[in-house]
Amino acid sequence: MSARFTRLNARFPHKRVFITGAGSGLGLEVAKALAADGWTLGLFDRNLERLTTVEAQFAEAGVKVVAYPGDVTQADELTVAVNSFAATHDGLDVMINNAGVAGGGSMMEVSLEDWRWIIDINVMGVVHGSRAAIPHLQRNGSGLLINVASAAAFASAPGMISYNATKAAVVSISETLVNELRPVGTQVSVVMPTFFRSSLLETFRGPAHARLLANKATQRSEYPVEQAAQDLLTASADGRTYIVLPKAARTMWRMKRWMPLRFLDRVRDFTQRQPQTD
């Protein structure tokens, strides 16, 4: 086995990681990437069937893995799982808050029920995961907390208001934690990828036209999820706080920071040019 993440492995020789939303998509690809380097995996997902299949596949390949079925909206379930993993493996090195869902629609199109649903998962899921992991990470004096947001957090495209807002909240939580956890030696990174093909749209809630646009953007993407997993691990090992993926998207990130109103004009113009139907 040839190690691909030598810097990450050197920082965390015990190689213990806990990943939420690990049954599919980006979470699963991150798990696969770390498993190839000999990491011990704690996998958390609400889809029991997928999780069971993934656990069996990893175990058959000789990977050290423990799967925990549960819901990130339930703080007790996630805390018990993280505590169990850390107790079983004498600690925790890396926590990845990856679980999330997709939503679309304008302010008046998104129901209050769907607002509560997406906030509970995308925002409170990160809160619950962070609160569960931080005591273990800070005990090491060298922990790593990775929160998966989205480029939607800064792009703020119209018609994606609930998703944009929740992912912006993940960025803000992460930025706050950077300074809260710096004194105890825990690094915090926030990942902001653009569209890539994954199972995220299976969870989508919103009007048909919003789903159609999101699906088209996903299908047009030439950025594979496997590459996104490798890139976020490499960048976090390098100590980066803001991880915008792919590399080409960093131009958008810089433009939003330096020329925010011009950036919003560009986003609006781009969105208006997109066809609404097939």
Summarize pLDDT for 211-269 with one digit per residue, the tens. 777 777 676 777 899 999 999 999 999 999 999 999 889 999 999 999 999 989 988 88
| Structure-token pair, residue 205 | 């809630």
Asked whether 56 and 253 are in contact (CB, 8 A), the reply is: no
Report whether pLDDT(135) > 60.
Answer: yes
| Structure-token pair, residue 34 | 């770390």
CATH fold of 6-273, please? Answer: Rossmann fold (3.40.50)
**Residues with a known catalytic role:** 163
Asked whether 98 and 148 are in contact (CB, 8 A), the reply is: yes
State residue 274's pLDDT score. Answer: 63
Residue 195 phi, psi (nearest 5): -65, 140
Mean local confidence (pLDDT), 26-38: 97
State residue 197's pLDDT score. Answer: 67
CA–CA dist 170, 232 (Å, integer): 16
Residue 208 phi, psi (nearest 5): -60, -40
Sort residue 218 into left (φ over 0), alpha (ψ -120 to 50) or beta: alpha
DSSP labels for 194-220?
Answer: ----SSGGGG-BS-HHHHHHHHHHHHH
Helix and strand numbers (H, E) in the chain are 12, 7
Mean local confidence (pLDDT), 51-80: 98
Question: What are the residue boundaries of the structural domains of the chain, listed by start?
Answer: 6-273
